[in-house]
Structure 1
Amino acid sequence: MGVEFGLLGPVAAWGPDGAPRPLGAPRHREVLGRLLIARNRVVPVGRLVDDLWPDEPPAGAVGAVRTFVAALRRALEPGRPPRQPSRLLVTDGPGYVLRAGRDVVDAWRFEDTAARAAEAPPHAAVALWDEALARWRGPVLADFPAAAWAAAEQARLEALRLDAVERRADAQLATGAARAAVADLRAHVAAHPGREDGWALLATALDRSGRRGEALETLRHARKALISAYGSGTGTGAALDRAEARIRSGTAGSAAEPAGVADGVWDRAAAAWDRSVPARSRARLHATAGLLRDLAVTGADGLEEAREHRRELVAAAETTGDAELAAGIIGSYDVPAVWTRADDPGNAGELVRAAARAAARLGPDGPPALRARLLSVVAVESRGDAAADAPLPRAADAPAAEPWRLRAERSAEEAVRIARRLADPALLAFALNGAFMQSFATCGSAARRDALGAELTRLAIGHHLPGHEVLARIVRLQALAGLGDLAAADAEAEEIDRLAHRNERPLAAVFTSWYRALRTCETDGWPAARPAYAKVLAETANCGMPGLVRGAAVLVALVPVMRGDALPRPDDFAGLDAGPYRPWLDPLLLAASGATERARHALATVPRPPHDLLQEALWCVLARTAAAVGHEPVLRRARNELADADGELAGAGSGLVSFGPVARQLRAIDAALGQGAPCATEPADGGT
């Protein structure tokens, strides 16, 4: 309808043009306010009468309410034709309901923005808290301060507002803006002296602004204020005690809280940076690039933030028109990357194109180190099919050259050559990461990946590159699992966990946890592995790597199927998000449900599996389906693709799941081709 409503201040309504709607007399506004706080629920006429006249309703009160409603309808929908029912203020059974979406009521928008701010990292959170608090025009339902029907909502929303003020200040402190937080917090505790968290935040802000004596005096005053507000015995709260301990430990130069001391240094350095470095300078672009690179390895939240802001930073660098600057920013993100399916394929494709543009602008005579970095970006971001610029070839067709894949492979090769020539260890580590991402041209490449991982391990140890050492050992962990050398893979897993703990790389544990579930399956069978997989699925659901997590439950559900000889029970997959694996799962489920012709049609159009860590596993799935429905072209293509992986475990090179020996899958394919008939027709009971 284009009408917006206000509760955070006097009751108000605005039209699509932002102009206030004339709501008439106070009783009209009171009815509107009462309907708004009902939140799209019906308010019976009798309840409206009792709320508007709590002492004793006058004669004709029901008629008066109906008159108020009619006037409101005219005010809110001035263009509504006569006799046409209102679509906004609706008669429903015994009463009325105001149909309003969450995006048109200021109180509800405040709540939603606050919820987003609570989940955001500090800089983004400050902006969101500002947006949320800006919706307040005064006290809730300011024109009805004593109305009993409004009291609960007024108290609830006011409590949320006070919490928002404090959480905004907390986010400011986390960004280093302690001085900016002081003034707002002073006003906050002056108006609400019983807010212990507000006092603790004010003392912390003063301390981080270099005013430690004033901070301690504030804490003493806070205790008196709390005693005055709540009575004797409750004046000293835990939040004040913690704040005082932090402040005093900093005064004494104690190392008891090194993290707190480091935070103070960070705050002061960040504030000095903001004061000293000009806005829109190249220095800010370079510093931001370094910050995003470090942020990406801090954990799930940092990885997601870095991924999002990296795109914006690259766009900003390109707008400068400085080819070398843009190339340096694009090529600076040498964060170790191990999972070969892109978390955000669209973003990855944009980065590949940006790197290619930057390389073209530099030309062949540009700085070779910059060129190698750009080529490494192309290789790393072209993981799987993220850089595809044409429809993927079909699994039923003969293999054909794919230009985007050839570009990525050649980029990786050239980057490694340049890095070796320059003898730059960090550059070579980045280039070898790209070579790893492009080492999946054919199935059966586990031995090659193990060699890459071994070289990268030696390089990282020799030149103290701990992030790339973690990457190298994960690469080896996966490759050794694919080769079936579980004892060597175990040793890598232990070393990965040690390095990750020492160097604060929390995401490395995602891969070792999955590997240990896979190992349990290989050594003890599926029944023993099932609870381990349930646990690891729950633990990694929010790890910040959607390319790995989406569809992972389907891969796990396929384990007992593919380790056996039969088709799955479709009900076992009901409700599971197949994610990126949907194209290869659907034909199998169609075959299992008896829809043979539909399964054959799906096989005729399904694309070939991506060139990544799971390509052998997905070719095995296609082969199982093709054998079941007698689709010889896909069966023969799968046979040819899997032949080079004869000595590996299908899927185990991912470090996530193992479908057992590829050799076993090849024997099943050969049997199906020899018989010319399906080899699996019954639903699976579960593999061993």
Structure 2
Amino acid sequence: MGVEFGLLGPVIVRDARGGPVALGAPRHREVLGRLLIARNRVVPVGRLVADLWEDDAPAGAVGAVRTFVAALRRALEPDRPPRQPSRLLVTDGPGYVLHAGRDAVDAWRFEDTAARAAAAAPHAAIALWDEALALWRGPVLADFPEARWAAAERARLTALRLHAVERRADAQLATGAARDAAVDLEAHVAAHPAREDGWVLLATALDRSGRRGEALETLRRARRTLADDLGVEPGPALARAEAQILKSADAPASAEPAGAVDGVWGRAAAAWERSVPARSRARLHATAGLLRDLAVTGADGLEEARAYRAEVVAAAEASGDTDLAARIIGSYDVPALWTRADDPRGAGELVRAAARAAAALGTDGPPALRARLLSVVAVESRGDAAADAPPARAAEPSTVEPWRLRAERAAEESVRLARQLRDPSLLAFALNGAFMQSFGRCGGAAGRETLGAELTRLAVDHGLPSHEVLGRLVRLQALAGLGELHAADGEADEIDRLAQRHERPLAGVFTSWFRALRTCETDGWTAARPRYEQALAATADCGMPGLARGAAALVALVPALRGGGLPDPEDFSPLDAGPYQPWLHPLLLAASGATEQARQALTDVPRPPHDLLQEALWCVLARTAAAVGHEPVLRRARDELLPAVGELAGAGSGLISFGPVESQLRAVDTTPAPGG
């Protein structure tokens, strides 16, 4: 009917010509505001009475409300004939409803324009954000600042406005208007100091305006303001912003990009920022792809990819788009080899996200997408990362654990689907998952050698360099476990060549470990020790904490376990055993003469994880159990190790070797019992 309503400031009404409509007394405007925030829903008369008078409604309050409504009807529809029902402010059952279109209320127009801005490319978004913010004339329902009925809607709309201010600044930064953004953001954080996003944006704008010192000082000021003045714990966004600014400060200064590649990258990235809407599906897809590629560039890239991967998955799930979430989760087909997860909690969350996405797709979903999600489950369920209960104790009989069964079935199904679809890259990803789930029992090196050979052939035939490196690493480890060291040498040389050609620096970490292991097998511990020191140094900064933590303690075990006795506890006092502490602790107790404590520790120790080092850790438990006479653990360790007779204990990891499993079993069989 041409009438427009305003909530973003004092309550107002404009007629079809844009002129103000006189609403009369404040109570009339209050009733109108209360009906507007109901958003075309009925508000009972009793509710209106309770809201308008709160705790002390007079006896004639219901009649007064009816009088207010009648006055509003006359003001809103002055040309309505007598006794003609109102089409705008309607009596409906026990109350009243105000019928208004989305374009008729400024608050609703603001929401719709903001949604369009969020989906627009940065240049267009700025204009739309300006249009949305221009609708604000003051605080929401400014003439009723203390009304309890208005509090929730006031808080909601105010939060949306602050978000809009920040997203407008975000778009300005994307278009290169950093100086303009900085001016607006200074005022924004002064008025709203609790907005951490505002502080981060201001620091970013200052940095991009060439004011790096002010940017860093802004972040320090933000921390002081949040912590000291407001009592709020600063979040991780401030730390990330500071790290990014410092990182850019360390980069060589140059007026122009250093080379043609840098120039293309910079121009393409700028074009992307200008052209692609900030919250589009395309951005999420591209971010996931970028993280996948980033993870194989080296230690820094791997750490960054790990840090942001969970956020991308969370954003995809929050979109409510089942297909989008499934594609984002399943897109991270980065080759994985080290079966101890770098971030077990994060890996478990990714397994659960992939399982949710697979369940939402159902068995009738796209087979390729289902195979990718199942591969994620298989890869991320490495070791005990997906465990939903504590692992069984080593002193107990072997049991089938539900989470392992789920992961193994996911691996089998993903490989089956990938073979049916004849998709090489999908099959490579699925075979990676099958590798991760090939540790259900000790002694599987021969099967992994076959799997690695298939993965290598597949990658060579279809030009998948990252998976060729993976396939050859799988073969290297399996061949080392089988004692076929000459063949493993050839794989190590080829891995180094591929790593240099395709810029895969992390592969060299694994070949350095293998060469230390190989030296130990052929030339003994003394010759191998310097090589192990080099391998440990390379591992310290490789971005793989699952590999790095406790690695020095594993190396320290080598001379003792290759011999027939127990280690010297003093050798381990300066070392962090990391995740291997549960299995190392009983051994060191036994070595120090604390027999009863060692026996108790063996009773409580969990079984080793189903990963590349399970044979090595069972050997540790067997040696300890034999030394202190713990028959249940000794019996279980023998049973677990028997399928691995013919392999080198631990060598299938490509890291360490305790020598032939058969020798380890003989050593424990000849160890005298305590007091014997």
TM range (shorter): 0.5 to 0.7
Name the residue aligned to 1:604.
603
Name the residue aligned to 2:161.
none
Counterpart amino acid of 1:133? E
2:216 pairs with 110, 126, 132, which one?
132
**CA contact under 8 A between 1:130 and 1:168: conserved in structure 2?**
no
Q: Secondary structure at the match of 2:405?
A: helix
**CA contact under 8 A between 2:586 and 2:601: conserved in structure 1?**
yes
Distance of 1:314 and 1:596 partners within structure 2: 49
Name the residue aligned to 2:248.
171
How high is the TM-score relative to the length of structure 1?
0.63
Instruction: Give the direction of change, closer, same or farther, for the CA distance of 1:678–1:606 in structure 2 (3 Å limit).
Output: farther
Percent identity between the two aligned chains: 74
The CA deviation at 1:669 is 3.0
Name the residue aligned to 2:348.
349
Deviations, residues 445-477 of structure 1 (Å, cap 9, x unaligned):
000100000000110001010000000000000
Distance of 1:372 and 1:638 partners within structure 2: 36
Instruction: Give the direction of change, closer, same or farther, for the CA distance of 1:167–1:590 in structure 2 (3 Å limit).
Output: closer
Name the residue aligned to 2:636.
637
**CA contact under 8 A between 2:626 and 2:669: conserved in structure 1?**
no
Distance of 1:578 and 1:606 partners within structure 2: 15
Distance of 1:368 and 1:654 partners within structure 2: 33
Instruction: Give the direction of change, closer, same or farther, for the CA distance of 1:537–1:127 in structure 2 (3 Å limit).
Output: farther
Name the residue aligned to 1:483.
482
The CA deviation at 1:536 is 1.4
Name the residue aligned to 1:316.
315
**CA contact under 8 A between 1:627 and 1:678: conserved in structure 2?**
no
Deviations, residues 646-682 of structure 1 (Å, cap 9, x unaligned):
000000000000000000011123335xx65579xxx
Q: Secondary structure at the match of 1:559?
A: helix
Distance of 1:484 and 1:378 partners within structure 2: 31
**CA contact under 8 A between 1:639 and 1:669: conserved in structure 2?**
no
Q: Which runs of 4+ in 1 moved over 4 A?
A: 126-131, 164-170, 675-679
How high is the TM-score relative to the length of structure 2?
0.64
**CA contact under 8 A between 1:629 and 1:678: conserved in structure 2?**
no
Name the residue aligned to 1:229.
none
Matches within 5 A, 1:50-129: none
Name the residue aligned to 1:362.
361
Counterpart amino acid of 1:483? L
Name the residue aligned to 2:291.
292
Mapped pair 1:429 → 2:428: yes
Counterpart amino acid of 2:447? R
Name the residue aligned to 1:666.
665
Name the residue aligned to 2:550.
551
Any stretches of 5+ residues in structure 1 without a counterpart? 1-119, 138-163, 175-196, 209-245, 247-259, 680-688
Q: Secondary structure at the match of 1:134?
A: helix
Counterpart amino acid of 2:609? P
Instruction: Give the direction of change, closer, same or farther, for the CA distance of 1:555–1:130 in structure 2 (3 Å limit).
Output: farther
Q: Secondary structure at the match of 2:540?
A: coil
Distance of 1:276 and 1:421 partners within structure 2: 39
**CA contact under 8 A between 1:628 and 1:678: conserved in structure 2?**
no
The CA deviation at 1:538 is 1.3
Name the residue aligned to 2:540.
541
Any stretches of 5+ residues in structure 2 without a counterpart? 1-203, 222-240
Q: Secondary structure at the match of 1:266?
A: helix
Q: Secondary structure at the match of 1:443?
A: coil
**CA contact under 8 A between 1:389 and 1:404: conserved in structure 2?**
yes
Name the residue aligned to 1:505.
504
Distance of 2:340 and 2:412 partners within structure 1: 20
Name the residue aligned to 2:325.
326
Instruction: Give the direction of change, closer, same or farther, for the CA distance of 1:347–1:169 in structure 2 (3 Å limit).
Output: closer
Matches within 5 A, 1:172-251: 201=254, 203-204=255-256
Distance of 2:275 and 2:649 partners within structure 1: 56
The CA deviation at 1:165 is 12
Deviations, residues 88-136 of structure 1 (Å, cap 9, x unaligned):
xxxxxxxxxxxxxxxxxxxxxxxxxxxxxxxx9xx99x99977523268
Name the residue aligned to 1:474.
473
Distance of 1:166 and 1:512 partners within structure 2: 32
**CA contact under 8 A between 2:628 and 2:673: conserved in structure 1?**
no
Instruction: Give the direction of change, closer, same or farther, for the CA distance of 1:173–1:633 in structure 2 (3 Å limit).
Output: closer
Name the residue aligned to 2:441.
442
Larger radius of gyration: 2
Distance of 2:245 and 2:673 partners within structure 1: 69
The CA deviation at 1:539 is 2.1
Name the residue aligned to 1:415.
414
The CA deviation at 1:644 is 0.4
Counterpart amino acid of 2:272? W
Name the residue aligned to 1:20.
none
Q: Secondary structure at the match of 1:540?
A: helix
**CA contact under 8 A between 1:481 and 1:652: conserved in structure 2?**
yes
Name the residue aligned to 1:52.
none
Counterpart amino acid of 1:348? A
Name the residue aligned to 1:581.
580
The alignment covers a number of residue pairs equal to 452
Distance of 2:640 and 2:220 partners within structure 1: 64
